[in-house]
Structure 1
């Protein structure tokens, strides 16, 4: 997908490689990740979430739509991997600040 803001593009590209360090790089130090209503605050918690919920099951998100909504970037698309129901369609809502991901929320 073209025209993604750089921090989001970097996250998506790292996810495609299942590169946890690359996935973490775009997040700000005080970032928040909300995964289906469960809140993870700070880089250590986000890293643990991504390791357990993305890397462990080889979950790769491939956005096929993008829109701006209330200042956030909203992506939709399938995630596929070694988990029940794969692929599952997800919505990612991303808030950017200072060229970094300030918050990311995923919902099914």
Structure 2
């Protein structure tokens, strides 16, 4: 697992949003639940809001790399109907930073 992606999951799971955000580029974009979050401030706000709303924790089940794209499958546990669920996290890296993250069921 590339370090910026490992930091994202470790930080998000621990509620340490600074660590979770550290691997994202300044122009990074997150696409989740039909919403686009662009730039560090918006991404941090998204992390904080989803953690507060869902109290979600990810357990990584699989990761596969294809060039600069890494797809991670994780079981998500939280305080939401249907928990746990399995989601796919598609990361695009530019160098050693996350440029894009798309989350899908």
Q: TM-score if structure 2 supplies the norm length?
A: 0.90
Does the CA contact (< 8 Å) of 1:20 and 1:55 recur in 2?
A: no
Listed one character per residue, the Cα deviations across residues 43-81 of structure 1 (whole Å, up to 9, x for unaligned) are 111111111112442211111111123630000021111
CA–CA separation in structure 1 for the residues paired with 2:42 and 2:33: 15
Moved over 3 A (4+): none
Unpaired runs of 5+ in structure 2?
none
Unpaired runs of 5+ in structure 1?
none
User: Which residue of structure 2 aligns with residue 27 of structure 1?
Assistant: 24
Please identify which structure carries the higher strand content: 2
User: What is the Cα-based RMSD across aligned positions, in Å?
Assistant: 1.5
Listed one character per residue, the Cα deviations across residues 28-54 of structure 1 (whole Å, up to 9, x for unaligned) are 111000003321111111111111112
Does the CA contact (< 8 Å) of 2:68 and 2:94 recur in 1?
A: no
CA–CA separation in structure 2 for the residues paired with 1:28 and 1:55: 24
User: Which residue of structure 1 aligns with residue 100 of structure 2?
Assistant: 103
- 1:18 matched to 2:9? The reply is no
What does residue range 18-97 of structure 1 map to in structure 2 within 5 Å?
Answer: 18-69=15-66, 71-97=68-94
Number of positions where the alignment pairs a residue of Structure 1 with one of Structure 2 = 105
